[in-house]
Amino acid sequence: METLNQFLLIGATVMFAGIFFAAFSSRLGIPFLLVFLVVGMLAGEDGPGGIVFDDYRLSFLVANLALAIILLDGGLRTRLTSFKAALRPSLALATVGVVATAVLTGLFAAWVLDVNWRFGLLLGAIVGSTDAAAVFALLRASGTRLNDRVATTLEIESGINDPMAVFLTVTMIELVSRGGELLVADMAWSLAVQFSIGAIAGIALGYLLSEVLRHVRVGGGLQALLLSSGGVAIFGITNLVGGSGFLAVYLVGLVIGNRRQRTSEDVLRAMDGMAWLAQSSMFLLLGLLVAPGDIVEVAWLALAVSAFLMFVARPAAVCAILLPLGFAWREVGFIAWMGLRGAVPIVLGMFPLMAGLEGAGLLFNVAFVVVLTSLLFQGVSIGPTARLFRVALPTRAEPLARSYLEGSADPPLELAQFRLEPEAALEGGDAGSVELPAPARLLSVLRDGQAYDIETAGALRAGDVVTLVAPEAQVDRIAGWFSRAARAAVPRVRKTHGEFVLDGSAELDEIVAHYGGAPLDPALHGRTLDEVIRSRLPLGPVEGDAVEVAGLRFTVRTVSGSRIVQAAIALPGARRGPERR
């Protein structure tokens, strides 16, 4: 009993310390995942904590369970429209991109570390993929709202590239241990089988689990537990039949999150808590495994590998894949830099250790340094880098609560609540006279503990909690009306998005005639602004996209589905040069 109490005391203390310091570190822009990793190291045998822990099998089990929960949560929050739009580039990055990054990094590592090329390629495979835990968590925690194309590409890439990294690592371990030759045909077949089984299992069993969740009515917390246990079970089943459990569990989340009866906000909050617990536990445990004294011996060589990965291998792979697909240079630059490494390389670094491979400790230590430097440099710089590459969008208010209305039409309506901030656009306006785009409308106002309907609420005041009903896409657009940040960002919005807002259905002939510009191409006569801009954007429009037509620069402001609802035109003196795509 005493041993159990000591274990609980130590575990809870380490977790408390990680969360405590992470709360303060976020104010300094330090990634909280890095804090958990460092706290684990300090609690380990070479740190003040002095805890001796070297159970790689337990760590491997915990890490796989945690990654399954994190991928499930990430899939739940990915909209199917975004997934379809970003699937092609994300899939290319998750397959060809991982291979290219692994090969380039592996060959460089073989030279720097003075090891066999097979051993070097094994290290390249271990650190070649981005990490879902780091990408999902750090992008959301950064407070930076990214261009949808960029954010979705990064998230989907990290969600589906683990199978390729696992496959490459296992293949290279077998190659190193046996000293054999690569059989490309066998590798391709094995990879195709894993991806196929993972995709089929994820989609089919995801639909089955979504039906179970739809018919089993329990509280939000229990619903989240039911969802998590079902997702982890599918993860295990898929692995047992030779498929990729990582791909399957991500697709399970995607299917459930996009079914007609979507996951409620209460369930998403509970899942968010479980994902945080999974991430923090995983990084604390992985930190405990590390012996800082061993890392110091290879620190400079490992830093060289990490620098090559960040500044050469990842950018080269991303540029070769995304530029031919029509991505803008600024988008490619940001995605190339955001090759965040996290728990996955450390977990893959355990594979050679558990296989008893000679020199496996070197691989683990180098992988750990790669993760540490990625979190320290790439994780810290998300906001500044997004602004540098002009993929950051103006911030908007987040709803206090939102939930889907049962029985509403398709797309389903949401009930959302916002707190009106001082100096927001709606402050001072009469609640009964506020006009929202149909079918959205205000329902009530909560003020000083009293509820008012919109006819009796009068002028809206700062601090009012306003309830409205609207489709999901409109909730996100209306959010800016409640935020002081939105008004404060107006100069920046004008600078990046244009001065005057135009309706997407406006005819281009009238716009050119009114604002001037070069002669209009005869082929564009009679076409709307929406049609013309979309014809210039092969990847589909997202907020922040800009094109130049007839000497005028138009920037997409609002998108609904694939249709441009609003675009902005800059005054001639404020216009930049043409957008390079």
For residue 19, the domain's CATH number is: 1.20.1530.20
CB 167 within 8 Å of CB 182: no
At 555 the pLDDT is 85
574 part of a folded domain: no
CB 244 within 8 Å of CB 198: yes
Q: What is the pLDDT of residues 51-69, one digit of tens each?
A: 777 778 888 888 888 888 9
578 part of a folded domain: no
Q: Decide if pLDDT at 482 tops 70.
A: yes
Q: Is 426 found in the same domain as 301? A: no
Q: What is the pLDDT of residues 341-354, one digit of tens each?
A: 888 888 888 889 88
At 366 the pLDDT is 93
Q: In what order do the strands lie in the sheet with 401-404?
A: 401-404, 413-419, 465-471, 441-447, 450-453
pLDDT confidence of 125, banded at 50, 70, 90?
Answer: very high
* CATH number of 413's domain: 3.30.70.1450
Beta bridge partners of 553: 548
579 part of a folded domain: no
The model carries a pTM of 0.81
In 190-288, which ranges are E strands? none
Tokens for 208, please give them.
């089955």
Q: What is the number of domains present in the chain?
A: 3
Structural domain boundaries, residue 509: 493-569
At 197 the pLDDT is 93
Q: Is 368 found in the same domain as 497? A: no
576 part of a folded domain: no
At 508 the pLDDT is 83
CB 508 within 8 Å of CB 529: yes
Residue that is last in its domain, among 466, 486, 506: 486
At 233 the pLDDT is 95
Q: What is the pLDDT of residues 127-160, one digit of tens each?
A: 999 887 778 777 777 778 888 889 889 989 988 8
Place of tokens 């077949």: 189
CB 461 within 8 Å of CB 420: yes
227 alpha carbon, distance to own chain's centre: 21
Q: What is the mean pLDDT of the chain?
A: 81
CB 217 within 8 Å of CB 169: no
Q: Which residues have a Cβ under 8 Å from the Cβ of 246 and sit 6 or more positions away? A: 67, 68, 71, 160, 162, 163, 166, 198, 235
Place of tokens 């609904």: 560
Mapping DSSP onto H, E and C, the string for 318-384 reads: HHHHHHHHCCCHHHHHHHHHCCCCCHHHHHHHHHHHHCCCCCHHHHHHHHHHHHHHHHHHHCCCHHH
Q: What is the pLDDT of residues 269-303, one digit of tens each?
A: 788 888 878 888 888 888 888 777 778 888 899 99
Q: Is 533 found in the same domain as 429? A: no
CB 527 within 8 Å of CB 508: yes
Q: Is 405 found in the same domain as 324? A: no
Q: Decide if pLDDT at 382 tops 80.
A: yes
Tokens for 186, please give them.
């066998």
* CATH number of 552's domain: 3.30.465.10
243 alpha carbon, distance to own chain's centre: 24
Q: What percent of the chain has pLDDT over 90?
A: 21
